[in-house]
């Protein structure tokens, strides 16, 4: 796993005087059974107008966090994982998996006269490339590129500066990288009140209902080759702790969205990021969370441009609720929109 460069980290921390109430912060953290993250907790309790010592220091801090979650070697950060590389998934492997999907989903494929490959919409070679990319990137705390990271930081800053009320959440947090960045953004931009919610099954991608979206079910079958991108709750907590960001303002929602999100103790949201991949998961997250999004807040949908049922779930929800706010493309995959006032 990646580790923060302690020399650079301590240099940034020392450039901001620590307050005298650090002991109270430690005691409060212990009472809440959370890991106390001294550098950030103490910096955060300073005058919020200082914003972690100024714009330059905030930028340095966010850059360091971004390197950490991406596992970039530059800047003194080590790679995300030191595990030995697995054998590449080949086009032949994927062709065999598609043939097996023909058998598994015959009940739904036969009436349409289509094969699993036709429903998936992508040939074996491209599937192999996608799965190998997932496997490689899954060594890190996030698969998101710089454009997606920029998007989260920019929207987080906007809702903080415009004082849009509400917490932040990522539904489909995986290994926690994006939510670590969200938590860092709260400190960088001087927010001392919001909570970051980390929602994930921590059991891998759910099995879609073939009757709801056959393409999702077939992709789920294919993604068994990468372990359904299963993450581990304790590992995500540790990733927050290594960055000095595991405190009472980080809360975890472990389980399937349909079970955890409707009754989650979240009053309002200012920023919600959905990375649920499938039709069912995206639909469940929108129904549970969008009504709690404050006017002026943002919803980001990570998988809108992918060949899954995510876009259909978003489009249906927007039509059903009369949402005409324009979709803004972040890259070829993700979109966002601002909830109208």
Q: Indicate whether 75 pLDDT > 50.
A: no
Query: In the structure, what pLDDT confidence band is assigned to residue 85 with cuts at 50, 70 and 90?
Result: low
Query: In the structure, what pLDDT confidence band is assigned to residue 196 with cuts at 50, 70 and 90?
Result: very high
Query: In the structure, what pLDDT confidence band is assigned to residue 341 with cuts at 50, 70 and 90?
Result: confident
Distance, first Cα to last Cα, the chain: 42
Q: Indicate whether 73 pLDDT > 80.
A: no
Give 244-247's long-range contacts (Cβ < 8 A, gap of 24+). Answer: 244/4, 244/9, 244/37, 244/38, 244/39, 244/40, 244/41, 245/37, 245/40, 245/180, 245/183, 245/184, 246/34, 246/35, 246/37, 247/29, 247/34, 247/35, 247/36, 247/37, 247/40, 247/41
pLDDT at residue number 203: 84
Q: Indicate whether 28 pLDDT > 80.
A: no
How much is the average pLDDT of 125-133? 84
Q: Indicate whether 201 pLDDT > 50.
A: yes
Evaluate whether 175 touches 142 at the Cβ level (below 8 Å). yes
Q: Kindly write down the DSSP assignment for every residue of 80-143, as one continuous string.
A: S--PPPPPPPPHHHHHHHHHHHHHHTHHHHGGGT--HHHHHTS-HHHHHHHHHHHHHHTTSS--
Question: For the chain, which residues make up each domain, given as ranges?
Answer: 91-137, 143-338
Three-state DSSP state, 269? strand
Give 227 or 84, the one with higher predicted confidence. Answer: 227
How much is the average pLDDT of 291-307? 95
Task: Provide, rounded to the nearest whole percent, the portion of the chain with pLDDT above 90.
Answer: 53
Give 141 or 169, the one with higher predicted confidence. Answer: 169
| Helices and strands counted in the chain (H then E) | 15, 7
pLDDT at residue number 78: 42
CA-to-CA distance for 116 and 222, rounded, in angstroms? Answer: 10
pTM of the model: 0.80
**Residue 312's CB: how many other CB atoms inside 10 A?**
17
Evaluate whether 242 touches 4 at the Cβ level (below 8 Å). yes
Query: In the structure, what pLDDT confidence band is assigned to residue 86 with cuts at 50, 70 and 90?
Result: low
CATH of domain 143-338: 3.40.50.150
How much is the average pLDDT of 44-66? 64
CA-to-CA distance for 257 and 181, rounded, in angstroms? Answer: 22
Q: Indicate whether 2 pLDDT > 60.
A: no
In the predicted model, what is the mean pLDDT of the chain?
Answer: 81
Three-state DSSP state, 305? coil
Query: In the structure, what pLDDT confidence band is assigned to residue 23 with cuts at 50, 70 and 90?
Result: very low
Q: Please, which residues have CB within 8 angstroms of residue 13's CB and are 6 or more apart in sequence?
A: 39, 43
Give 207 or 44, the one with higher predicted confidence. Answer: 207
How large is the angle between the packed helices 124-137 and 91-104, nearest 10 degrees? 110
Q: Hey, which of 116-125, 151-160, 271-280 has the most confident mean pLDDT?
A: 151-160
């Amino acid at each position: 796993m990646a580790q923060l460069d302690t020399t650079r980290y301590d240099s940034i921390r020392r450039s901001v005087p620590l307050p005298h109430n650090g002991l109270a912060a430690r005691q409060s953290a212990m009472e809440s059974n959370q890991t106390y993250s001294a550098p950030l907790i103490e910096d955060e309790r300073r005058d919020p107008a200082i914003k972690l010592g100024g714009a330059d220091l905030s930028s340095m801090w966010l850059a360091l966090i971004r390197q950490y979650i991406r596992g970039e070697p530059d800047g003194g950060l080590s790679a995300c994982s030191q595990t030995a590389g697995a054998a590449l998934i080949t086009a032949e492997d994927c062709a065999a998996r598609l043939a097996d999907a023909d058998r598994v989903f015959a009940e739904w494929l036969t009436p349409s006269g289509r094969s699993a490959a036709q429903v998936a919409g992508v040939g074996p070679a491209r599937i192999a490339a996608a799965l190998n990319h997932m496997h490689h990137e899954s060594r890190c705390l996030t698969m998101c590129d710089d454009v997606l990271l920029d998007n989260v930081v920019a929207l987080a800053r906007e809702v903080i500066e415009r004082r849009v009320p509400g917490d932040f959440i990522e539904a489909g947090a995986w290994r926690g990288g994006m939510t670590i960045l969200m938590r860092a953004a709260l400190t960088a931009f001087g927010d001392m009140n919001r909570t970051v919610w980390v929602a994930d099954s921590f059991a891998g991608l759910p099995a879609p209902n073939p009757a709801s979206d056959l393409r999702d079910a077939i992709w789920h079958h294919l993604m068994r080759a990468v372990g359904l991108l299963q993450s581990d709750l304790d590992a995500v907590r540790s990733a927050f702790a290594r960055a000095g960001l595991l405190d009472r303002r980080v809360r975890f929602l472990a389980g399937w969205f349909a079970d955890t999100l409707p009754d989650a103790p979240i009053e309002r949201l200012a920023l919600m990021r959905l990375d649920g991949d499938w039709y069912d998961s995206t639909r469940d997250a929108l129904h549970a969370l969008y009504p709690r999004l404050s006017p002026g807040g943002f919803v980001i949908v990570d998988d809108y441009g992918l060949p899954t049922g995510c876009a259909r779930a978003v489009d249906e929800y927007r039509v059903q609720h009369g949402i005409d706010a324009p979709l803004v493309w972040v890259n070829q995959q993700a979109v966002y929109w601002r909830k109208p006032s």
